[in-house]
Amino acid sequence: AGWRQLYGVALLTGIGFTMSLFIGTLAFPAEAYDIDIRIAVLLASVISAACGYLVLCHPMQAHSPAQRNAE
Angle at 53 between CA 63 and CA 46, to 5 degrees: 145
CA distance 12 to 45: 9
Per-residue tens of pLDDT for the chain, all 71 residues:
688 888 888 888 887 767 777 788 888 877 878 888 888 888 988 998 999 999 999 876 655 565 555 55
- Listing DSSP states for 10-54 in one string gives HHHGGG--HHHHHHHHHH--SGGGHHHHHHHHHHHHHHHHHHHHH
Q: How confident is the model at residue 14, as a pLDDT?
A: 80
Assess contact for 21 and 41: CB atoms under 8 A.
yes
Orientation angle between helical segments 34-57 and 18-27, nearest 10 degrees: 150
**pLDDT score, position 53:** 92
